[in-house]
A and B are shown apart, each in its own frame.
Chain A
Amino acid sequence: MAEFTAVGDAIHNDFFVVTGSSFADDLQLLFETAVGTVTVAPNVVRPQLAFVAQLPASVPTGRHWLRLRHGGTTTERIPVEVTAGPPYTVCVLYSGRPKPSPYTIVFVANPAIESQAGDTFNADPVLTNRAGYHSAVAYCLQNILRETEDLLRAGGTDAQMRFVSVFDATLAAQQENALAHEVSPNIMETPFNRLGVLASFLTRFHEVADVVFVLHGSTTHTRASAWFTRDDNSRPTVPFTYDGVARQHGRFSSIPGSCAIPVTEDTTAMTALHEFGHAASDFNNGRVVDLYVNGTAGGFMANKKFRAQATDPVPANFATYNGTNYNSDPNRDALGYPATWTSYHPQPIDATRPNLMDNFFLSFDTPLRCRLDQLTYAWMRDRLLAKLGR
């Protein structure tokens, strides 16, 4: 009996995913016929899934037997019918835990870009670059699920999450389809003044998201950004205390968290998980903010505090979260606080590299090994578990 299942259809140049259990990192997909075999190595492997960004056209159309080879073993085979296309508009990449409201991350090919002034809407070039979009989805999945920081995958929690892709090249360049907004000089954001468009857009595709990755093709506004989730605290919540103040992790959101990332994003960077860190935090009960600037994002920030004077010492204790004390980072990892800064941060998990929410490009080896600080990790894990547990 085969120990895996193919998700959806096998279509040239579309996503192709197999699911199962105990997949090893060396997994390969063997497409066999009576005369030969094409072996495809997935872009991303987790114990429960193997993800191919685009099924190569070198796997011929027609009936194949599909086996998996991993961990020194080869599975039984299942039949797979490979077709030439067209690729689907909506692809469920992984269905997550079977329940009414699984925690859901949606990748969207942005249909239209809103100008900074908000008076024009232009077609997003990503709609004519499906290959680039697929590569960007692969990068994001690799980045949030496979690098050193295990925020989403610790304890196998990513196996409970639903992942979906939406690529609809038929949509017109108009406001209701514009999920990206240009901000001078080079930032692309999800449209802050009308973030409700994200949920209404996805409703057309029968999806409800917790976090939306808006992937765009702009070549002028290539700096990624994110907006926090707005939890719906009229629905069930999980209470917590932060410095003695009672707050809530919402199990549901009224507006999903969101980030805008260019399909040309540098894959040596931790941009996808960094932006997820912002997007998955909450406007009202804890914002996870950038640590590479001294400024404040306003509201309650979970990962940044300020001294009265830049010359004041960094307090030893950063915060008390749910009764546990978390220390401050006296040295800002290995980077050091500039003399004029009043802000300070929680103690990092890895003191030798920059915090994932700081300037990870300054890592001494590779940004891909950067991690969060201890407090933000604990706080964000609890937040994810609150939503996964709904």
Chain B
Amino acid sequence: MPTTRGLVQSIKLDPGFRTGPNQPDFCYVFIGPSPTNTTVFGISFGSPTDPTDGRSLYFASVVEALSGALFARREVEVNDDTTIGLIDGLRVLPG
């Protein structure tokens, strides 16, 4: 499980409706030393039809933490799935 460390440069949120019915919401996170030097990671929010779905709430919290790191200019470490770059772990490093 690769770990990547860097600054969150930007976040893009895509509702599932954009990709088709009953598709999960999706988030793209751009991490790297500068806005022009980033790696993109993905977060899938799980079931869009069940907003109480714990998995959905968990990943929404991960995105909020990434957003907090973005605007506080704090470095993060993310663990991602080796095949498709989906984030499955996050650590916001001390400022």
Check if B8 is an interface residue, CB within 8 A of chain A.
yes
Query: In the complex, are the beta carbons of B13 and A56 less than 8 A apart?
Result: yes
Q: How far is the CA of A44 from the CA of B15 in the complex (A)?
A: 9
Query: In the complex, are the beta carbons of B10 and A58 less than 8 A apart?
Result: no
Selecting from A31-39, A167-175, A186-194, A205-213, the interface stretch reads A31-39
Q: How far is the CA of A264 from the CA of B17 in the complex (A)?
A: 15
Residues of B near any A CB (own CB < 8 A) = 8-15, 17-18, 21-22, 27, 48-52, 60, 63-64, 66-68, 70-71, 73
Chain A residues positioned under 8 Å from B49 (CB to CB): 132, 135, 264, 267
Check if A18 is an interface residue, CB within 8 A of chain B.
no
Minimum Cβ distance to chain B for residue A12 (Å): 10
Chain A residues positioned under 8 Å from B12 (CB to CB): 28, 38-41
Chain B residues positioned under 8 Å from A142 (CB to CB): 17
Query: In the complex, are the beta carbons of B13 and A60 less than 8 A apart?
Result: no
Minimum Cβ distance to chain B for residue A140 (Å): 12
Query: In the complex, are the beta carbons of A135 and B60 less than 8 A apart?
Result: no
With CB as the reference atom, state the residue of chain A lying closest to B12: A39
* 8 Å CB interface, A229-277 against B: 264, 266-268
Sample of 29 A–B contacts (CB below 8 Å): A35-B70, A35-B73, A36-B8, A36-B9, A36-B10, A36-B11, A37-B10, A38-B11, A39-B10, A39-B12, A41-B18, A43-B17, A53-B15, A56-B64, A57-B60, A58-B13, A58-B27, A58-B64, A58-B66, A60-B71, A129-B51, A131-B51, A132-B52, A135-B48, A135-B49, A266-B22, A267-B49, A268-B22, A368-B21
Q: How far is the CA of A309 from the CA of B22 in the complex (A)?
A: 43
Contacts A42-B15, A56-B60, A57-B67 known; list 9 others, CB within 8 Å: A39-B11, A39-B12, A40-B13, A41-B14, A41-B15, A129-B52, A131-B51, A142-B17, A267-B17
Chain B residues positioned under 8 Å from A37 (CB to CB): 10-11
Minimum Cβ distance to chain B for residue A50 (Å): 11
Check if A138 is an interface residue, CB within 8 A of chain B.
yes
Minimum Cβ distance to chain A for residue B38 (Å): 12
Query: In the complex, are the beta carbons of B21 and A267 less than 8 A apart?
Result: yes
- A132-B68 CB under 8 A given contacts A38-B11, A142-B17: no
Q: How far is the CA of A59 from the CA of B27 in the complex (A)?
A: 13
Query: In the complex, are the beta carbons of A39 and B73 less than 8 A apart?
Result: no
Minimum Cβ distance to chain B for residue A233 (Å): 39
Q: Looking at the complex, which one of A28, A44, A268 makes contact with B21 (CB distance below 8 Å)?
A: A268
Q: How far is the CA of A104 from the CA of B7 in the complex (A)?
A: 46
Query: In the complex, are the beta carbons of B13 and A39 less than 8 A apart?
Result: yes
Minimum Cβ distance to chain B for residue A10 (Å): 14
Q: How far is the CA of A88 from the CA of B10 in the complex (A)?
A: 29
Chain B residues positioned under 8 Å from A266 (CB to CB): 22
Chain A residues positioned under 8 Å from B71 (CB to CB): 33, 35-36, 60
